[in-house]
Amino acid sequence: MVVKNLQINGFRNLKKFNIRFGDLKNLLYGVNGSGKTSIIEALYLLGFGKSFLQANKQDMTNFNSSGFFIRADIAGKSGVNTLNASYEKNFAMQLNNEKSPLAEIGKYLYPLFFSSLNYNLFIDHNPHFRKMIDRFIFGVHALYLHHILRYNHLVKQKNFLLKKLGKPINNSELDSWNKLLSVTGFEIVKKRMSFINQLNNEIKASFSSELKINYLPSLLANKEISETSLLRDLQLVKNAEMKYRGCLLGPQRDRFALMVSDKKMQLFSSGEKKKHLLIIYLAFINMFYRAHNDFPVFLIDDYDVAMDFKNLNFIIDHFPQMQIIATSVAKNDKFDDSFELGKEN
């Protein structure tokens, strides 16, 4: 998949902005505040319907605009398809001018985002790493998104029931939510287990790395996992959840332990963390390519901070046909196409 061109209006500091990318290695460079990261963010938004920053849609809207509009033409095996994202009171996404779910949009644009912030957030904070793994699984199994969305909805409903302060909790209603959560939760745990196993195998086979990801489901005991065992666990913590007034167990609390030669990666230097997180990304790119016979669009914000030149050269040489869109304050002739951005766009 290749982003051919991008139009942005009213998003962050970008108004009536147009750019035509090259098919391979692209660099957006310029002073801070010129909108480089906003361009990367707009592409990410087109693929996932949300920002990689903690921001709502109103926060992304230009101060002098009532909303924003983003449009991109994406070339792929099925030809050129158009993606639109717009916000004016409500957020909407379209594929070829028709409303389309994210699972369908992901077939045409999968933006893989890497930045200097990733290694600390993803390695040291389980919720961020868990979300990253979920995005990776979605990249190779689009229907996985259905399970995640359904599960999140069920957790929200169960939490609402548990938080009815001062009111008695209906046990039969709570049991019903637990039954539904055990079914969807098992699908998520099963898919995460399978994916992590494949990812570890890819890391070892392709990079001869001692890095290993241990998946630690939020369950009461290490045993064979099934819908029945998950439901049993939920029933066992029911009284504790009623006292806590919130969900205490399930995939939303799963953890991952990143180990290198049996040592926790949190103990390593920032340079080692970046290196090993990048290995995880590169292993995923291999898996993505096998699943789709195509590459994701690799977005790298502040590439010269996020990785050293050795790693950048490895990515460019190892994936010569993958489109990269990177940002930096300075130009680099290693990229096929460079675009200088001024302070005002």
HEC string of 144-211 equals HHHHHHHHHHHHHHHHHHHCCCCCCCCHHHHHHHHHHHHHHHHHHHHHHHHHHHHHHHHHHHHHCCCE
Which letter does DSSP use for residue 217 in this model?
-
For residue 165, pLDDT beyond 70: no
What is the mean pLDDT of the segment spanning 187-203? 97
For residue 59, pLDDT beyond 60: yes
Distance CA 274, CA 276 (A): 6
Chain Cα centroid distance, residue 71? 20
What homologous superfamily does CATH list for 122-293? RecF/RecN/SMC, N-terminal domain (1.20.1050.90)
Give the chain's mean pLDDT: 91
Write out the residue limits of the CATH 3.40.50.300 domain(s) in the chain.
Answer: 1-110+296-345
pLDDT score, position 45? 96
For residue 243, pLDDT beyond 80: yes
pLDDT score, position 22? 96
pLDDT score, position 222? 63
For residue 294, pLDDT beyond 90: yes
What homologous superfamily does CATH list for 1-110+296-345? P-loop containing nucleotide triphosphate hydrolases (3.40.50.300)
pLDDT tier at 167, thresholds 50, 70, 90? confident
What is the mean pLDDT of the segment spanning 295-300? 96
Class of residue 66 by CB neighbours under 10 A (exposed 0-12, middle 13-18, buried 19+): exposed
What is the mean pLDDT of the segment spanning 322-333? 93
pLDDT tier at 186, thresholds 50, 70, 90? very high
Question: pTM of this prediction?
Answer: 0.92
pLDDT tier at 89, thresholds 50, 70, 90? confident
For residue 345, pLDDT beyond 60: no
For residue 217, pLDDT beyond 60: yes
Write out the residue limits of the CATH 1.20.1050.90 domain(s) in the chain.
Answer: 122-293
Please give the helix or strand (H or E) that residue 292 lies within, else none. Answer: helix 270-292
What is the mean pLDDT of the segment spanning 19-36? 93
Q: Which residue has the higher pLDDT, 217 or 224?
A: 217
Q: What are the tens digits of pLDDT across the range 128-164?
A: 999 999 999 999 999 999 999 999 999 999 999 998 8
pLDDT score, position 81? 96
Q: Which residue has the higher pLDDT, 321 or 122?
A: 321
pLDDT score, position 344? 58
